[in-house]
Amino acid sequence: MSTVKNDVQSLLETLPDDCTLEDIQYHLYVVEKVRRGIERAEAEGEMTQQEVEKRLDKWHTDRLGRRKRWKMWNLLLCI
């Protein structure tokens, strides 16, 4: 199992020599978010495609059951 220090060293080796401190901070942030997501999926279980689509559909429907103005694919284009 890799340690946080090893993960940071590996990350630094992949970044270009002229990267900024902000670049390093951003990449560390992303690595940490991915690590937490994997841990959460292992602890709580993963979601199926149907469960994800159902959640997204709820987010795009108002309280009266009407679809909001944007389509789901517009949201996915932003990711």
The number of domains in the chain is: 2
Are residues 38 and 52 both part of a single domain?
no
Are residues 25 and 52 both part of a single domain?
no
Are residues 41 and 54 both part of a single domain?
no
Amino acid letter, residue 76:
L
How does pLDDT run across 14-67, given as a tens digit for each residue? 999 999 999 999 999 999 999 999 999 899 888 888 988 888 888 777 666 666
Using the Cα atoms of residue 63, residue 44, residue 40 and residue 49 in order, give the sign of their dihedral: negative
Q: Which strand (E) or helix (H) includes residue 73? A: helix 72-77
Rg (alpha carbons) of the chain, rounded to whole number: 18
Whether the predicted pLDDT of 69 surpasses 80: no
Are residues 35 and 11 both part of a single domain?
yes
Cα angle value 44/55/33 (rounded, 5°): 50
Which residue's structure tokens are 């841990």? Answer: 39
pLDDT for 33: 93
The residue range of the domain holding 33 is: 1-46
